[in-house]
Amino acid sequence: MSSLQKQNNDVTTIKVMKTFDAIKERRAVKHYDPTHKLSEDEIEKLMSLAILSPTSFNMQNWRFVLVKDSEIRKKIRSASWDQAQVTDSSLLMVICADLKSWKKDPGQYWKDAPKEARDFLVPAMGMFYEGKEQLQRDEAMRSGGIAAQTLMLAAKAMGYDSNPMIGFDSEKVADLINLPEDHVIVMMMAIGKQIKPAMPRGGQLPLDKVVFTDRFD
């Protein structure tokens, strides 16, 4: 093996280990330093990574509302059982999804693809989702969940912690962020600098209870 190959292998190993560490160390942290602020560059980095998350037909149906107004945050906290992380975290976002993104100028999602791929995929989106309301909602939740995981791991890699949240009145939060009628809220996400670590893990199920080969027993 040449020295260059060894160097490339070492770099790959380091990257893998950092990814593994972020997965293992990510926890739902609820106590944050309210004085800490994320820079605009850090926020842009987080969001730039989030939008690399995969979506069906590349429809990019996630939408992220970054709640920066302190008064709106206080109102969202009131609608979230007074959970302190809503106002104390450095960044609060409401992860949403556009249920109808598949038919809103679908050509934009494939503008850089080869013509053959574009000619097949653009009309296929309509055929796949038209009239299938549950599938559209399922797709929204899938996309938002994948993006949320990307955000949590990216935040951890940057030295921050996060808390995915479903403990809130979704109708009140929807009203506060002026959610369009054809959108849904997937979850909220708090990101910041922890001042108190998460409690020890509650207990992971063994692999043989969650992993099956070929079919369920």
Mean pLDDT, rounded, for 31-46: 97
Q: Which residue has the tokens 């909220």?
A: 188
51, part of any domain:
yes
> What burial letters (b/e) apply to 146-185, b meaning 16+ CB within 10 Å?
ebbbbbbbbbbeeebbbbbbeebebeebbebbebeeebbb
Q: Is the pLDDT of residue 1 over 60?
A: no
Residues 67, 138: Cα–Cα separation, whole Å: 25
**Structural domains in the chain (count):** 1
pTM comes to: 0.91
Q: Is the pLDDT of residue 152 over 90?
A: yes
Confidence class for position 24, pLDDT limits 50, 70, 90: very high
Q: Which residue has the tokens 């996060």?
A: 162
Mean pLDDT, rounded, for 21-30: 95
- In which domain, by residue range, is 63 found? 28-196
Q: Is the pLDDT of residue 6 over 60?
A: no
Mean pLDDT, rounded, for 134-162: 97
Mean pLDDT, rounded, for 141-165: 97
Q: Mean of the per-residue pLDDT values for the chain?
A: 94
Residues 187, 168: Cα–Cα separation, whole Å: 9
Residue 158: predicted pLDDT: 94
154, part of any domain:
yes
Distances (CA, A) of 169 to 2, 37, 174: 59, 26, 9
User: Is the Cα torsion angle 130, 133, 139, 140 positive or negative in sign?
Assistant: positive
Provide, rounded to the nearest whole percent, the portion of the chain with pLDDT above 90. Answer: 91
135, part of any domain:
yes
214, part of any domain:
no
Q: Is the pLDDT of residue 8 over 90?
A: no
216, part of any domain:
no
117, part of any domain:
yes
Confidence class for position 185, pLDDT limits 50, 70, 90: very high
13, part of any domain:
no
Confidence class for position 15, pLDDT limits 50, 70, 90: low
11, part of any domain:
no
Per mean pLDDT, which range of 18-22, 153-157, 163-167 is the poorest?
A: 18-22
User: What is the DSSP secondary structure assignment for residue 197, as one 8-state letter?
Assistant: P
Residues 17, 157: Cα–Cα separation, whole Å: 11
Q: What is the CATH number of the domain that holds 95?
A: 3.40.109.10
Confidence class for position 104, pLDDT limits 50, 70, 90: very high
Q: Is the pLDDT of residue 122 over 70?
A: yes
